[in-house]
Structure 1
């Protein structure tokens, strides 16, 4: 099975798991996410007696605990059948990174690719990013120039730079350019 087929199968299984769930209420304070419970459904029969029917074993995927005065306790949970092999995909919003200021702390790229390490303004002393690429007006190679074609710009240690993020993904930073500041120059 190819990697794509495996991905599609797992995605379909996760969506199926999410569509087959039950919600319940309990007074059992020991329940938590990951607990497996035997659920019963109670209903009122025609003659006025209560009957319980087993629904089977379920895995709790969400739970909210409520505690009140006088030892009041109640929880509300969401659960999927315990036989499901793939858990539902979590509904988590991806973080979005905005353009940020940073200071270059190293430009001695061990791979010689012109990357730099920076300390974002929110990072504490001693912290730094991994090696990140630097944007340039023209980069790459051509038939006549095999490498370092165009404008090569590597910020110096101590330079203030503007860091952008490809697709606003905080895991894909790049240096957009350097900025003048009071210690480097008065500006152009």
Structure 2
């Protein structure tokens, strides 16, 4: 969004009694400690050997910030370029808070996004510098005589605002917390109509959660979800793909709602155990079911 120019302003005096509508009344710099470095890392199972670490140093010249590194995992990105962009924006957000000006003025045209240039100031170092209004609070008062139509008393207006140097690439602070999933949920495996098994090359499946009111219990009900096994090596390990209609346990990597994965299957009234545990509790077995249609099986029973 292009910034709007607010013109040139001068530093005035609240004691002179000769205030103009384009004067700044008070001016104070507020400095905040900034991270000297921002590092983020993530992992993509499709590229397990790729290092997705992104790191950047601050442009703020302040002694002692080199040791103040912010490290985050997961960064929630799958490409290194996305990681670089995320790190740059997060660091710019912190840098934007390093040097803020808190001031008051009589400039009625000011608003967030307006920029102005200092024409005259009691500190010569400020002259010629430009600042952008970050936030502003307006104060106005209409005297009783003004309201009655006499208009003999002056309309009183001031504002208080925060601003930052115009050369800074401003980023607003990240304050909205990301949703976090706690604990496990159960869901039902779904897929295209007429299929019994629906999985991709990684053995991932799709599910419909019990709380989902919009899903149609088909291949569009969720994203692909990885399935956890007791072993998973290079073309060796366990493989038992949950089938459509199975009830499964779903958890979330790092509590991220965008990264669900299946941790196991559970029996229910429609899908009961092959043997009644209350009567044959000593039986341990692994029993398959032929597909499509069933009717055949293989079984390992102890």
Place the TM-score, normalised by the shorter chain, in its bin. Answer: 0.5 to 0.7
Distance 1:172 1:112, change over 3 A: same
Residue 176 (structure 1) shift: 0.7
Q: Deviations over 1:112-148 (max 9, x none)?
A: 221101122232223522111000111123xxxxx2x
TM-score, scaled to structure 1:
0.63
**How far apart, in 1, do the equivalents of 2:245 and 2:160 lie?**
54
Aligned residue pair count = 161
TM-score, scaled to structure 2:
0.42
**How far apart, in 2, do the equivalents of 1:101 and 1:178 lie?**
9
Alignment-derived partner of residue 114 in structure 2: 36
Residue 55 (structure 1) shift: 7.5
3-state secondary structure, aligned to 2:190: strand
Alignment-derived partner of residue 131 in structure 2: 57
Distance 1:17 1:129, change over 3 A: same
Residue 20 (structure 1) shift: 1.5
Alignment-derived partner of residue 97 in structure 1: 181
Residue 37 (structure 1) shift: 4.0
Residue 59 (structure 1) shift: 4.1
Distance 1:5 1:154, change over 3 A: closer
From the CA coordinates, give the structure whose radius of gyration is larger: 2
- Tell me which of 132, 136, 152 is aligned to 2:229: 136
Q: Is the Cα–Cα contact under 8 Å of residues 111 and 133 in structure 2 kept in the other structure? A: no
Alignment-derived partner of residue 178 in structure 1: 265
**How far apart, in 1, do the equivalents of 2:117 and 2:181 lie?**
43
- Tell me which of 83, 95, 102 is aligned to 1:16: 95
Alignment-derived partner of residue 123 in structure 2: none
Distance 1:136 1:64, change over 3 A: farther
Alignment-derived partner of residue 253 in structure 2: 166
**How far apart, in 1, do the equivalents of 2:102 and 2:128 lie?**
15
Superposed CA RMSD in Å reads 4.1
Distance 1:56 1:150, change over 3 A: closer
1:125 aligns with 2:174: no
* Residue segments in structure 2 that go unaligned for 5+ positions in a row: 1-51, 59-87, 119-126, 140-157, 192-196, 278-302
**How far apart, in 2, do the equivalents of 1:90 and 1:159 lie?**
40
* Residue segments in structure 1 that go unaligned for 5+ positions in a row: 41-52, 67-73, 142-146
**How far apart, in 2, do the equivalents of 1:162 and 1:88 lie?**
39
